[in-house]
Structure 1
Amino acid sequence: MTVPDPKTNQNQNNKVQVPFLVSAPGKVIIFGEHSAVHGKPAIAAALSLRTYLSVSKSESPDTVSLIFPDINFSKQWKVSDFPWEAAAKYQVIPSNDGKLNNSAAFSKSSDELVPELVSALAEMLVTIDDPTHYSAAYAFVYLYVNICNSKMPGYTFTARSTLPVGAGLGSSASLAVCLASSLALIGGHIAPASLSINELVATDSPDSDFIHSWSFLAEKCIHGNPSGIDNAVACYGGAVMFQRMKSSVPSVRTAMRNFPPLKLLLTNTKQPRRTADLVAKVSALVSDFPKSSGVIMDAIDYITREGYKLMIRPFFDNEAKSRFRELIRMNHGLLVSLGVSHPTLERVKLCCDELEIGDTKLTGAGGGGCAITLLRDELSESTMKNAEARLVSEGFETFETTLGGKGVGYCPLDKAADVDKFDLFRLEDREEIESTVGVGANPNFWSFW
């Protein structure tokens, strides 16, 4: 991956008026869990559940504020607290006079964090002792010192999410894309988004690529060694097929940006699990039973590729949806045979099967976490409410959402009739966030890259 040099992307004509909002979707894995670890492809798709981030001017021009009410975190820094000298020495940054601050220590094509700059940022983070808070702040300050400059006024960044955090739905990547897009906008590196929600995308733009590349570095701050699939889906939307290749061969990532939205029920079992333990369990099975497990992995590979063929078709009719649901059902059965399901996930599937609302599979590592149900088109509202009530009675959390759809978006608040109602900090819960600022509830306010 080539990380764009912020200086070459800087254009004073691109700068936007504040306040504004940006937003990026979460993701679910549709096909290919666990087989992807063993060199097979996986497909992830965007969710209509999203992270929203507002940017407004700070009361003090020397103050940069980060506020995440959903995780009870807020932090303020002075603009002068950022290590601008270290950034000028070890990184390419935009200077106020338009000159390039550069050194041979930085490779413009690098997708690695700069160790010297990471060390220089440590003092800004030393008082943060919660791991989740630390990761979010680390990603923010790393991007800020690279994409912004010391002469910019202070801003307040407030993030809210309709995504459950820590459920394997790409909430951190969604945040990373929001941070990258908002900082790129105020730094003048990209132009405001211009595509409407119904416009198709022929090719990726330099602006969306800029957001994608810097969001990957933010994900590195949060996760250390991310695959890149989560932030790709959050940035570009639609769906992405990803295959991690062996040794030095680059990974393959194929975007399907125009994959149409499909109705989905997402069920969070709230059953905790450790992804590393489940991956190790499957790896041990592959080692102990190479022929049998190899057949299962090959079958998942075939299902993933069949799903891809359906997803790239120019239309997604009823026949395609029916075949897609069959693939989901088969993929779940294969994952069960690998031993990564859980009684809570099977209760979700049993409920959805008995009420005939659609086809269900676990998503992500399994062992708990979330299940997805691709819903039938002809479902009545009473049937859906009955299914959700039954799942909630089991102690689960449900979300009516859509699969596919747009990626990172931008909402200039001068379009809104009442700017005050878009104050993210004042919104009570996910439902109010979605109904007030949500892309689904306010499609005419939003544009996309």
Structure 2
Amino acid sequence: MKKISVASAPGKTILFGEHSVVYDEPAIAGAVNKRATVSLCKSHNNYSTLKSNDLGFEVIMDTRRGTYTLKRGKPGIIRYILNAMGKFHDHTSIDMDLSLNLPIGSGLGSSAAVTVATIAALHHYHGVDFNKETLAKEAHAVEEEVQGIASPLDTLVSTYGGLVYLSREKRIVPFDNNLDAPFVIGYTSKYGNTGKVVKKVKTLKNNYPELVNPIIDTMGKIANEARVAILKNDIDKIADLMNLNQGLLDSLGVNTYELSRMIYTARDNGAVASKITGSGGGGSIISLCREDNVDEVAEAINVEDRTIKVKFSKDGVLVNRKSPPLS
């Protein structure tokens, strides 16, 4: 029987701290109940393959060179997998399958989920002991190499799961309470490029430090205020802070027409708050709703864009579900 190694990791949504977290400000994010799953086993061929029916592609991989030959489709997320394979695989032939129910490039941490799941599956396949702390660091290193600059938040949340506060010292502090409020995530077909947008903000910060540094600092203060509000389940204050945060993101130039359209559509149809989630430049917004208007908000956004309703998930990375949980 073939030894099959399977690992899955959740996507995430950021409530507070986009971009400012790159500069060591605090952030708040949560794992969602949408996941990337990587399955791999020894191949009978003398080459490695990767396929994803969800994304509609299949490739033959050269893991030593970090290259691939396309058989069908367009593998937009393969750079993360090849980078992880180069670091954590012994280059023997394997067959890999990727399942993903997260939209790519939408700000929901699809690349982090794929990276975390890939590394976890490879470690399990090779019998390498690891824990969540080392896995999150390894996955962040892959994202940083691929993107040029990357926040550790996505890979931390994808690894640990739950709703978390990330301190300035990069310490993860889980929330004991659940945020008792419904959210609608809207995403546009115009995908964002996280690396490109993060570099754009960095350039703006370098060119105008006296103007941009206070914006980054205020984002950090908003995240700290939001932490207290979440602990108290103060929905009105959380809504105010989300809308304030959106104004600051807009000032950094990461908004787009499509994102702004979704934000105001959500607000005009009853959402108490709506803001970009993720890097911007395309991708997703997150809208805080009342219990009685979730469907109304989702339907309004769906006229021109798409939505998913997500719940926060306590589950982080899972490896061969029968295995003992990672520490």
* Cα contact 1:267–1:399 (8 A) shared by 2: yes
Partner of 1:345: 259
Residues 129-188 of structure 1: per-residue CA shift (max 9 Å, x gap): 978365145224314435xx86xxx65321111111122322111111111111121222
> How far 1:37 moved relative to its partner?
5.0
Partner of 1:10: none
* Cα contact 1:261–1:405 (8 A) shared by 2: no
TM-score (norm 2): 0.79
Partner of 2:31: 46
More strand by share: 2
* Cα contact 2:81–2:114 (8 A) shared by 1: no
1:229 aligns with 2:148: no
* Cα contact 2:183–2:287 (8 A) shared by 1: yes
Local SS of the residue matching 1:165? coil
> What is the CA–CA distance in structure 1 between the aligned matches of 2:259 and 2:68, rounded to whole Å?
40
Aligned partner (choices 166, 190, 206) of residue 241 of structure 1 = 166
> How far 1:38 moved relative to its partner?
5.1
Partner of 2:246: 332
Cα gap change, 1:253 to 1:386, in 2 (>3 Å): same
TM-score (norm 1): 0.60
Partner of 1:9: none
Aligned partner (choices 208, 224, 229) of residue 132 of structure 2 = 208
Cα gap change, 1:281 to 1:224, in 2 (>3 Å): closer
Q: Which amino acid aligns with 1:237?
A: G
> How far 1:212 moved relative to its partner?
2.4
* Cα contact 2:165–2:175 (8 A) shared by 1: no
> How far 1:407 moved relative to its partner?
1.1
> How far 1:310 moved relative to its partner?
4.6
Aligned partner (choices 33, 57, 67) of residue 125 of structure 1 = 67
Aligned partner (choices 315, 322, 325) of residue 406 of structure 1 = 315
* Cα contact 1:265–1:372 (8 A) shared by 2: yes
Residues 200-233 of structure 1: per-residue CA shift (max 9 Å, x gap): xxxxxx5223432432343355334433322121
1:388 aligns with 2:298: yes
Unmatched tracts of structure 1, length 5 or more = 1-16, 83-120, 191-205, 244-251, 416-445
Cα gap change, 1:24 to 1:338, in 2 (>3 Å): same
* Cα contact 2:143–2:150 (8 A) shared by 1: yes
Q: Which amino acid aligns with 1:229?
A: L
> How far 1:327 moved relative to its partner?
1.7
> How far 1:333 moved relative to its partner?
2.6
Unmatched tracts of structure 2, length 5 or more = none
> What is the CA–CA distance in structure 2 between the aligned matches of 1:30 and 1:185, rounded to whole Å?
32
Aligned partner (choices 154, 172, 191) of residue 255 of structure 1 = 172
Percent sequence identity is 25
Partner of 1:118: none
> What is the CA–CA distance in structure 1 between the aligned matches of 2:105 and 2:96, rounded to whole Å?
21
Cα gap change, 1:410 to 1:361, in 2 (>3 Å): same
> What is the CA–CA distance in structure 1 between the aligned matches of 2:77 and 2:205, rounded to whole Å?
36
Aligned partner (choices 201, 223, 227) of residue 304 of structure 1 = 223
Residues 247-280 of structure 1: per-residue CA shift (max 9 Å, x gap): xxxxx31213455554321111233555536763
Cα gap change, 1:164 to 1:173, in 2 (>3 Å): same
> How far 1:361 moved relative to its partner?
0.9
Cα gap change, 1:208 to 1:400, in 2 (>3 Å): same
Partner of 1:175: 114
Q: How many residues align?
A: 320
Local SS of the residue matching 1:347? helix
* Cα contact 2:88–2:123 (8 A) shared by 1: no
Local SS of the residue matching 1:132? coil
- Larger radius of gyration between Structure 1 and Structure 2: 1
Local SS of the residue matching 1:405? coil
Partner of 1:290: 210
1:156 aligns with 2:95: yes
RMSD: 3.6
Local SS of the residue matching 1:235? helix
Give 1:81-92 correspondences, 5 Å limit. none
> What is the CA–CA distance in structure 2 between the aligned matches of 1:301 and 1:290, rounded to whole Å?
16
> How far 1:346 moved relative to its partner?
3.0
> What is the CA–CA distance in structure 1 between the aligned matches of 2:80 and 2:250, rounded to whole Å?
34
Local SS of the residue matching 1:50? strand
Cα gap change, 1:257 to 1:181, in 2 (>3 Å): farther
Cα gap change, 1:225 to 1:283, in 2 (>3 Å): closer
Q: Which amino acid aligns with 2:132?
A: S
* Cα contact 2:266–2:297 (8 A) shared by 1: yes
1:27 aligns with 2:26: no
